Amino acid sequence: MELWLELLALLLLGGSSGSFRHSLRYQYLVVSEPSEGLPQFITVGFVDNQIITYYDSQKKKKVPKVSWMKEVEKEDPTYWKEGSDILSLTQEVLQEDLRHVQNRYKQTRGFHTWQTSYGCELQGNRSKGGYSEYGYDGKTFLTFDKETLSWVAPDPLAEITKRKWDNNVRWSQRNKIYLEKECIEWLKKYLSYREKAMLPSTESPVVTMSSRTEAEDGMETHVCRVHGFYPREIDASWKRDGEVWLQDTLHGSVAPNADGTYHYWLSIQIDPKERDRYRCHVEHDSLQEPLDMAMKELTNSKANLGLIIVGIMAALVLVGVIAVILLVFFKKREDGYNAARKSDKGSNSSDWASDKGSNSSDWGRNMAI
């Protein structure tokens, strides 16, 4: 799975939608200085907190990230191709946005990001809300108020754009329709695909252990990997003599797999003489009783664990700056929705996203930032 897809997912998975609440949302990211490991443009779609679609400017192809999203092809064989074409155009619009905003802030050099996020929420059979917003370098630039059909500009430098967009009443009305009706229709469609796929109500976690010896001090590092579980909620911890142990421990975030299940890891550094005192303790709804995985004596797994640790550290270094930016901008949307824009089907001439492309409300605005 793409590194940046996983990053976006982690930043969004801080809360739970609840058993009777569902959401559809899209996240877009444009960067001023792309690299081989970081595409210039990325977009990710989510149903509830599960990644369903992905597109980036390097692969130039919108793809499903869960098997049940392939159902859309039966109703519309052009869905993925048209979605890819639309997102290619969307990238051009958002890159131009970023250039305009950089000029406005007099920041034409260096690494900068332009983000947009929008979505809707359904509780029972009623629309709960919708939101749409733009951000620059992780800070909110503009948000859409669908009740007043106006844009809110927390930053004085966004006032110019606010005045332009407020004058385009037809476009604002289009955004409101998307957020309150079309987005909900797409959400219901995707939920029906997922239900039809008959995902199991629970999937038990598989727990594995890796370990190595630290050459400097002789201490052992053990990594407990928990993968393939569903639903997302899980309690995994280290225990020493039956008690939760936090000293010298690290852990990752619960992250999605392509098949809709989740994975998680935690590590600990110990004195090898005390190895028998520790257990990796896992509790999950799918388990009749908790799992307690004992540590094994070291074999030649040192190299494998080394690769795991190196991979983790390399990823942390690579995404560090972006993580801070995205966390500030995207994470605050998790507790609810408050504004809106875009249509799911894949953009028509009046918008820029729609579910084929993403939603449909931006690259039809016919006006610059």
**Higher-confidence position of 55 and 319:** 55
pTM of the full structure: 0.64
| The token pair that represents 83 in the structure block | 């979605």
Query: Are 142 and 158 spatial neighbours (Cβ–Cβ below 8 Å)?
Result: yes
Instruction: Give the separation between CA 225 and CA 214, rounded to whole angstroms.
Output: 19
Amino acid sitting at position 222: H
Give pLDDT, residue 297: 76
Which of 11, 13, 41 is CA-nearest to residue 29? 41
Confidence of residue 1 (pLDDT cuts 50, 70, 90): very low
Query: Is 3 a residue whose pLDDT tops 90?
Result: no
Which of 47, 118, 101, 166 is CA-nearest to residue 329? 118
Query: Are 63 and 53 spatial neighbours (Cβ–Cβ below 8 Å)?
Result: yes
Give pLDDT, residue 358: 53
Rounded mean pLDDT of the chain? 81
Confidence of residue 345 (pLDDT cuts 50, 70, 90): very low
Query: Are 295 and 278 spatial neighbours (Cβ–Cβ below 8 Å)?
Result: yes
Q: What backbone torsions phi and psi does residue 167 show, to the nearest 5 degrees? A: -75, -15
Query: Is 104 a residue whose pLDDT tops 90?
Result: yes
Which of 87, 86, 69, 85 is CA-nearest to residue 28? 87
Query: Is 146 a residue whose pLDDT tops 90?
Result: yes
Query: Is 125 a residue whose pLDDT tops 60?
Result: yes
Confidence of residue 302 (pLDDT cuts 50, 70, 90): very low
Task: Name every residue whose Cβ is closer than 8 Å to that of residue 349 and which is 6 or more positions away in sequence.
Answer: 364
Q: Could you tell me the residue ranges of all domains in the chain?
A: 20-198, 206-294
Query: Is 79 a residue whose pLDDT tops 90?
Result: yes
Q: Stretch 62-78: mean pLDDT, rounded?
A: 93
Least trusted range by pLDDT, from 14-18, 49-53, 188-192, 361-365: 14-18
Query: Is 69 a residue whose pLDDT tops 50?
Result: yes
Query: Is 5 a residue whose pLDDT tops 60?
Result: no
CA distances (Å), origin 281, targets 101, 226, 278, 288, 289: 49, 10, 9, 14, 11
Confidence of residue 291 (pLDDT cuts 50, 70, 90): very high
User: For 223-263, what is each residue's pLDDT tens digit?
Assistant: 999 999 988 899 999 999 999 999 999 999 999 886 778 99
Query: Are 31 and 325 spatial neighbours (Cβ–Cβ below 8 Å)?
Result: no
Instruction: Give the separation between CA 40 and CA 22, rounded to whole angstroms.
Output: 30
User: Could you give the 3-state DSSP secondary structure of residue 279?
Assistant: strand
Query: Is 207 a residue whose pLDDT tops 70?
Result: yes
Give pLDDT, residue 337: 40
For domain 20-198, the CATH class is alpha beta
Give pLDDT, residue 215: 64
Q: Do domains 20-198 and 206-294 have the same CATH topology?
A: no
R_g of the chain, CA atoms, integer Å: 22
* Domain 206-294 coded CATH 2.60.40.10: yes
Query: Is 27 a residue whose pLDDT tops 80?
Result: yes
Q: Stretch 339-348: mean pLDDT, rounded?
A: 36
Give pLDDT, residue 266: 97
| The token pair that represents 313 in the structure block | 């550290």
Helix (H) or strand (E) holding 315, with range, is: helix 302-330
Q: What backbone torsions phi and psi does residue 16 show, to the nearest 5 degrees? A: -120, 140
Classify the phi-psi angles of 218: left when phi > 0, otherwise alpha if psi is within -120 to 50, otherwise beta: left
Query: Is 334 a residue whose pLDDT tops 70?
Result: no
Which of 291, 288, 109, 276 is CA-nearest to residue 207? 291
Terminal Cα-to-Cα distance of the chain (whole angstroms): 33
